[in-house]
Structure 1
Amino acid sequence: MPDVQITLNDGATALRLFPELFSVYKAGFSRPPHSQTETDFVNFEARAKRQFQQPEFGLMTAHRDGGLVGLCFGYPLPVGTGWWNGLDTPADEDFYAEDGTRTCAVIELVVHPDHQRQGIGRRLLTAFLDSRAETRATLATNPEARSVQQMYERWGWRCLGRKPAGFPTAPRPFFDIYLLDLPVTH
Structure 2
Amino acid sequence: MKDLIQIDGEEKTMHTLANLYQKVWGLKDHQSIYKNFLKHTTYEGYKGLAAENREGEIIGFAYGYTSLPGQYYNSLLIREFRSEEKEKWFCNCFEFVELLVDPLYRKQGYGRMLASHLLEGINHKTAILTTQANNHAAQHLYRQLGWQVIKEPFFPNEPSEPFVIMGKERTEHS
Task: Provide TM-score, normalisation by structure 1.
Answer: 0.76
CA distance in 1, matches of 2:146, 2:51: 22
Query: What is the CA RMSD across the aligned residues, in angstroms?
Result: 2.6
Number of aligned residue pairs = 168
Distance 1:185 1:146 in 2: 27
Cα shift at 1:91: 5.8
Question: Which of 95, 115, 121 is matched with 1:105 structurally?
Answer: 95
Contact 2:132 2:163 (C-alpha < 8 Å) held by counterparts: yes
How many angstroms apart in 1 are the aligned matches of 2:65 and 2:142?
Answer: 19
The alignment status of 1:178 with 2:166, answered yes or no, reads yes
Deviation track 1:143-175 (CA, whole Å, cap 9, x = no partner) reads 232332222222221111133316x8xx93643
Q: How does 1:140-179 map to 2 (within 5 A)?
A: 140-161=130-151, 162-165=153-156, 172=160, 174-179=162-167
> Is 1:86 the counterpart of 2:86 in the alignment?
no
Structure-2 change in CA distance of 1:181 and 1:96 (3 Å): closer
CA distance in 2, matches of 1:42, 1:146: 30
1:25 maps to which of 18, 21, 26: 21
CA distances 1:114-158 after superposition (whole Å, capped 9, x unpaired): 111011111111111003221221101112323322222222211
Task: Confirm or deny that 1:63 pairs with 2:52.
Answer: yes
Unaligned runs of 5+ in 1: 31-36
Return 5+ residue gaps in structure 2 as ranges.
Answer: none
- Once the two structures are overlaid, the 10-residue window that deviates more, 143-152 or 107-116, is 143-152
Q: Does 1:95 align with 2:80?
A: no
2: CA distance between counterparts of 1:119 and 1:9?
A: 19
Partners of 1:43 and 1:165 in 2: how far apart?
A: 19
Question: Would the aligned equivalents of 2:89 and 2:128 in 1 still touch at CA under 8 Å?
Answer: no
